[in-house]
Every structure is written in structure tokens, then in C-alpha cells.
């Protein structure tokens, strides 16, 4: 940040004989940032404020916008459809913590420091090469009623051959969480591997000499030293899972009915399918506040732990 300041000092330090020349740092410095500032102001900040304002109004896409005060938010609290969306979003949040994050950590720890580790991790990274939409198309084909999954289960003599995975709640949300896990696990594993590699060798060697291994080693040494990175992975995954859209939109569009809607899907459907712009805005605001709070708490915890290390 030191570099950013003291333009005046620099200008004054120029030899006085060259005063006629243009100033060292140029005259139109603001011209260089203005495209970026203009772009984010008009296309990101303005729409953001507009959505906040609109969440206090009713607007159907046509006709006038009328002030509605907190009516949209009050409706949010009493809307059974939205309650389903909140419930499903919580399922996504919990499922994301249990599956891609925990399994990612497991894969990272298992493959850490063994020969050929990258080969063992490759199968988990392959699905990440596909886009969310591509993964969703593939999994909905596998899981559709009478599809590959059903046939495979009956061929193996397992239960579930006649199951309609995507047609009933809550199993439709659960199988979509599995599909998302299939895609996300590898990245989380990779992040954890980077974290493991940055752990200093001394405490590990010391613990090994003391006879620690396996689970004890993980619990007493790796886990506490990984904590800052775990906070980042958990924080990122939480915020991403709150905004889950692609997979659900492609696989079920939030249906059948509204049974697999998440908050992000509800926001999209209420706005662009049902033309309730004010109500859709209110859902977006709630989504933003919740994910903002989570990011804030995680960021603070992370900065806090860094301070402890520094002290």
C-alpha cells in the first residue's frame, strides 16, 4: 500500500528546471481506472441497489411499481413453498459439508505422501472437467425413471430398481447432492493437499518419534494445523451451496411441483416464471444477507486465527 500514496511528494521531487514538462505520473490518471469503475458501478452496484429497493415494492414486469414496505418479507415468512426452498437449501448446505468437503479431506489425507499420489487423485479430478450443466445432463439421464441407475440396480439384485430418484422429495435433492459431490470432491481434495504440503515438517516428525500414527496423528497434528485452510474450503463451499442453481435447474427445474426448489431456484422461478419481481428481489436479498453473514463469520475467524499465530 505504500506504493499507492504520496503522489504529491513524488511530483515535488522533480528537478525544478523541468517544470514545463508533463508531471511524472501523467495528467489523466483517473482516465485509466474510469472504465473499470464505470463498468462495476453501472452493471454491478446499481443493479444491486435496485434489487434492494425493488424488494420493498410490487412489480409484475408491466404496469406501475408500487411501494409495499415489508410486505414481501412478511410473505416470505408465511410462504409454504419458500419454506420447502429453505429446507432444501439447508439440505444442500449440510450435504455439501458432509460429502464434498469431508470426503475431499479424506482423499487428500489418504493420498498424502504416498508414491503415485497424483494418479490416485486423478479419478476425482476428471468430473471437474465437465461443466455443471454437463454433469447435470449426464446425471439426470442416469437417474431418470427407468434409466441406467434403475436398470443397473435391478441387474445387480439390489433394492432401488423401481425407485424414481428424481420424482419425490427429499430423495431428489439428496441424489442431486450426490451428483454435485461427484463433480466437486476433486477440487476440495486438491485444496486440502496444498494445505497438507504447507504444514511444517517438525511437528509431524516430533509426533512420529513420540509414537503417534494414524487417527491420533490426524486429530492432534494435521487437523489443527489445517484449520485455516479448512475454514476457507468450508466457507467457499457453504456460500456456493447456498446459491446452488445449475444442477437443480437442469435436473428438475426445482420440481416436480416445487419439491426440490432451492432459494436460488425459487428466486428465478418467482421472478421470471411467475413475474413477481418484488418477491423475487426479496428472496435474492435474503440469500445475499445469509451468504454475506457466513462469509463474514468465516473471514473473521480466519483473520482471528492468523492473529493468534502472529502473537
Q: Considering only residues 87-106, where is the footprint of other proteins by CB under 8 A?
A: 103
The residues in 288-307 that bind other proteins, with binding defined as CB under 8 A, are: 288, 291-292, 295
The cell numbers describing 291, all together, are 451468504
State the minimum distance, in angstroms, from the CB of residue 122 to other proteins: 8
Strand partners, 66: 58
Q: For residue 30, count CB atoms less than 10 angstroms from its CB and return exposed for 0-12, middle for 13-18, buried for 19 or more.
A: exposed
The residues in 236-255 that bind other proteins, with binding defined as CB under 8 A, are: 243, 245-246, 249-251
Q: Rounded to an integer, what distance in angstroms lies between the CA atom of residue 226 and that of residue 221?
A: 9
Q: How far is CA 226 from the centre of its chain?
A: 20
Q: How far is CA 255 from the centre of its chain?
A: 22
State the minimum distance, in angstroms, from the CB of residue 112 to other proteins: 9
State the minimum distance, in angstroms, from the CB of residue 310 to other proteins: 21
**Residue 121 engages other proteins in binding (rule: CB under 8 A):** yes
Give the 3-state secondary structure of residue 67. strand
Binding part of the chain for other proteins, among 67-75, 120-128, 219-227, 228-236 by CB under 8 A, reads 120-128
> Among residues 20, 30, 202, 209, which is the contact residue for other proteins, using CB under 8 A?
30
State the minimum distance, in angstroms, from the CB of residue 16 to other proteins: 16
For residue 189, CA distances in Å to 123, 131, 175, 238, 302 come to 12, 18, 21, 16, 20
Q: Rounded to an integer, what distance in angstroms lies between the CA atom of residue 77 and that of residue 13?
A: 63
> Among residues 70, 194, 273, 303, which is the contact residue for other proteins, using CB under 8 A?
194
The residues in 156-175 that bind other proteins, with binding defined as CB under 8 A, are: none
Binding part of the chain for other proteins, among 69-77, 89-97, 191-199, 222-230 by CB under 8 A, reads 191-199
> Among residues 17, 20, 33, 310, which is the contact residue for other proteins, using CB under 8 A?
33
For other proteins, give the closer residue by CB, 114 or 158: 114
Q: Which long-range contacts (CB under 8 A, 24 or more apart) does 205-213 make?
A: none
**Residue 284 engages other proteins in binding (rule: CB under 8 A):** yes
Give the 3-state secondary structure of residue 57. strand
Per-residue contact string for residues 261-280; x = within reach of other proteins by CB under 8 A:
---x--xx--xx----x--x
Q: Rounded to an integer, what distance in angstroms lies between the CA atom of residue 74 and that of residue 86?
A: 15
Binding part of the chain for other proteins, among 4-12, 74-82, 88-96, 227-235 by CB under 8 A, reads 4-12
Amino acid at each position: 500500500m505504500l506504493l499507492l500514496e504520496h503522489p504529491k511528494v513524488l511530483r515535488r521531487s522533480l528537478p525544478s528546471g523541468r517544470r514545463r514538462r508533463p508531471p511524472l505520473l501523467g495528467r489523466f490518471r483517473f482516465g485509466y481506472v474510469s472504465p473499470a469503475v464505470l463498468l462495476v458501478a453501472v452493471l454491478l452496484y446499481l443493479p444491486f441497489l435496485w434489487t434492494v429497493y425493488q424488494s420493498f415494492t410490487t412489480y409484475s414486469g408491466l404496469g406501475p411499481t408500487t411501494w409495499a414496505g415489508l410486505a414481501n418479507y412478511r410473505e416470505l415468512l408465511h410462504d409454504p413453498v419458500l419454506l420447502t426452498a429453505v429446507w432444501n437449501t439447508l439440505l444442500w448446505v449440510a450435504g455439501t459439508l458432509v460429502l464434498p468437503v469431508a470426503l475431499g479431506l479424506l482423499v487428500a489425507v489418504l493420498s498424502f505422501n504416498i508414491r503415485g499420489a497424483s494418479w490416485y487423485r486423478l479419478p476425482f479430478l476428471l468430473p471437474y472437467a465437465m461443466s455443471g450443466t454437463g454433469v447435470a445432463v449426464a446425471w439426470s439421464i442416469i437417474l431418470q425413471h427407468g434409466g441406467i441407475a434403475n436398470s443397473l440396480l435391478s441387474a445387480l439384485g439390489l433394492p432401488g430398481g423401481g425407485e424414481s430418484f428424481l420424482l419425490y422429495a427429499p430423495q431428489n435433492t439428496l441424489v442431486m447432492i450426490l451428483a454435485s459431490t461427484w463433480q466437486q470432491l476433486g477440487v476440495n481434495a486438491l485444496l486440502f493437499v496444498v494445505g497438507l504440503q504447507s504444514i511444517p515438517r517438525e511437528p509431524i516428525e516430533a509426533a512420529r518419534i513420540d509414537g503417534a500414527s494414524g487417527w491420533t496423528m490426524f486429530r492432534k497434528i494435521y487437523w489443527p494445523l489445517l484449520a485455516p485452510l479448512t475454514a476457507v474450503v468450508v466457507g467457499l463451499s457453504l456460500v456456493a451451496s447456498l446459491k446452488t442453481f445449475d444442477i437443480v435447474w437442469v435436473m428438475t427445474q426445482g420440481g416436480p411441483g416445487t419439491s426440490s426448489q432451492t432459494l436460488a431456484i425459487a428466486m428465478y422461478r418467482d421472478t421470471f416464471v411467475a413475474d413477481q419481481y418484488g418477491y423475487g428481489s426479496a428472496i435474492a436479498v435474503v440469500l445475499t444477507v445469509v451468504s454475506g453473514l457466513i462469509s463474514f463469520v468465516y473471514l473473521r475467524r480466519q483473520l482471528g486465527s492468523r492473529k493468534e499465530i502472529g502473537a
